[in-house]
Amino acid sequence: MKQSVLLAQSEKPFSAETEESIFSPNTSQSKSLAPSGAEMASPTQGERTCAKCESTGAPDNNTQNITSRSFVYGLGRIEARFPTLSAEKEFAQAAGRSKTAGLTDQQALSTVLLAKENRYLVRQLCWVFSIEGIETYLLYPRDPSDFDLLITALRPNPSPLDMDVVIGFLGPVAPPEMCNGLMVPILVFDQIYSLDRDALVKSIPKPNDIDKDLFKSAAEELFDKLMQLTDNAGAMDEHRAVNYLAVRYPTIYTKAAEAFAQNASLTAVDVRPSPLSGIRKVVDVIFSYTNRTTDMTEKFFVRVDVTEEFPFLTKKLSPYFDR
């Protein structure tokens, strides 16, 4: 299976021509589990995901309903599970008809589900999204055609460094019969990106004046630290902002490498409501670098708008001064 970062408009995760590019696309609960004005339907109820979106999965254009939803920008791992014994037996029969000799279980699962004649099985499975090893959400596509994104996320040769980015909004808690007794919130997704840390680091444009090995080490360390921020289910505004920057804004990695070259360490990542917040939700993500010799701290910040489902940058990395 093709294993790489999912692309939207470019063949490269990061482009040298722009600072904001996209990668080839733990358990805290959000304040509201159910989207306002929308009634979730389970996979057995048909292809609809909500009563107001109709069967097409088209977005609800009511601004009040959209802004009252609990959005998620989560970083974790996707896995497929059998919700019932009959689904497992049906898969076993499909696997028996496929060429799976010599394949591992994961490779066989990927091979069988990729076959066009077996796509009905994809809808029978339950798709679990785990963050830091904790089962956090059950995934369900807003549009039935997006089941393909789930299949793509099933890697035939998984690695501990693999990661999936899921963007969507929260529905109700799943009923016990939906996934063999697992009761976690349903996450209705609009987009999934699949990546791994090594591919991410390699895709970041390296400044000419920074050693290649230093830059790689700095980028990997910063990514690991961002992933270790506690209670990050991707449902709070501050977490959505940090997760967005981790996979969409390469400049923070370049800055980390520059700081290391100047004998400074990343000592804190803070998220605060921006003074410019008003009608829209805007947060400042502040990176603190402390010099190892002088113990002086220098701060830089990025401003991110998290009002709607897809966060976006409103101010590039700039010096930050405490007020």
The pLDDT tens digits of the residues spanning 51-92 come to 433 333 444 444 445 556 899 999 999 999 999 899 999 998
Give the Cα separation of 268 and 148 in Å (integer).
38
- Is the alpha carbon torsion for 202, 207, 211, 214 positive or negative? negative
Helix (H) or strand (E) holding 283: strand 282-291
Tokens of 123: 């809808």
Three-state secondary structure string covering 117-137: HHHHHHHHCEEEEEECCEEEE
Taking the chain, what is the end-to-end CA distance rounded to the nearest angstrom?
51
More confident residue, 77 or 5: 77
The more confident residue out of 322 and 79 is 79
Q: What is the pLDDT of residue 25?
A: 40
- For residue 30, the 8-state DSSP code is -
Between 24 and 258, name the one with better pLDDT. 258
Is the pLDDT higher at 140 or at 223? Answer: 140
State yes or no: pLDDT of 18 exceeds 50.
no
Q: Answer yes or no: is pLDDT of 231 > 60.
A: no
pLDDT-derived band of residue 49, with 50, 70 and 90 as boundaries? very low
d(CA 90, CA 124): 10
Q: Rounded to an integer, what is the distance from CA 75 to the centroid of its chain?
A: 4
In angstroms, the CA 291 to CA 308 distance is 37
Q: Sign (positive/negative) of CA torsion 318, 319, 321, 322? A: positive
Q: Which residues contact 240 (CB under 8 A, 6 or more apart)?
A: 71, 72, 73, 234, 306, 311
Query: Domains of the chain: which residue ranges?
Result: 43-196, 199-319
Average pLDDT over residues 271-283: 89
Residue type present at position 26: N
The whole-number pLDDT of residue 6 equals 35
What's the pTM?
A: 0.75
pLDDT digits (tens, 9 = 90+) for 180-207: 889 999 999 999 988 887 788 777 777 7
Q: What's the chain's average pLDDT?
A: 78
Of the ranges 55-59, 259-263, 271-275, the best mean pLDDT one: 271-275
| The predicted structure's pLDDT at residue 4 | 38
**Residue 282 banded pLDDT, cuts 50, 70, 90:** very high
- Minimum mean pLDDT among 9-13, 140-144, 311-315: which range? 9-13
pLDDT band at 162 (very low <50, low <70, confident <90, very high): confident
Classify each residue of 170-205 as buried b or exposed e, where b means 16 or more C-beta atoms within 10 Å of its C-beta: bbebbeeebbeeeebbbbbbbbbbbbbbebbbebbb
Burial class, 285, CB count within 10 angstroms (exposed 0-12 / middle 13-18 / buried 19+): buried
Over range 7-15, report the average pLDDT.
39
The span from the CA of 318 to the CA of 300, in Å, is 5
Burial of 258 (0-12, 13-18, 19+ CB in 10 A): middle
In this prediction, residue 50 carries a pLDDT of 43
Residues 49, 39: contact at Cβ < 8 Å?
no
Going from the C-alpha of 312 to that of each of 21, 34, 170, 191, 199, the distances in angstroms are: 11, 24, 20, 15, 22
What's the average model confidence in pLDDT over 232-261?
Answer: 88
How high is the pLDDT of residue 65? Answer: 52
- pLDDT of 126 reads 93
Q: What is the pLDDT of residue 104?
A: 84
The per-residue pLDDT for 229 is 63
Q: Identify the pLDDT of residue 169.
A: 95
According to DSSP, residue 40 is labeled: B
Residue 31 CB partners (closer than 8 Å, separation 6+): 70
Q: Which of 117-126, 184-193, 247-256 holds the top average pLDDT?
A: 184-193
Q: Over the Cα atoms of the chain, what is R_g?
A: 21
Tokens of 96: 């028996």
pLDDT at 160: 80
| Residue range 169-187: mean pLDDT, rounded | 92
Least confident of 108-117, 170-179, 205-214, 275-284: 205-214
pLDDT > 70 in the chain, percent: 78
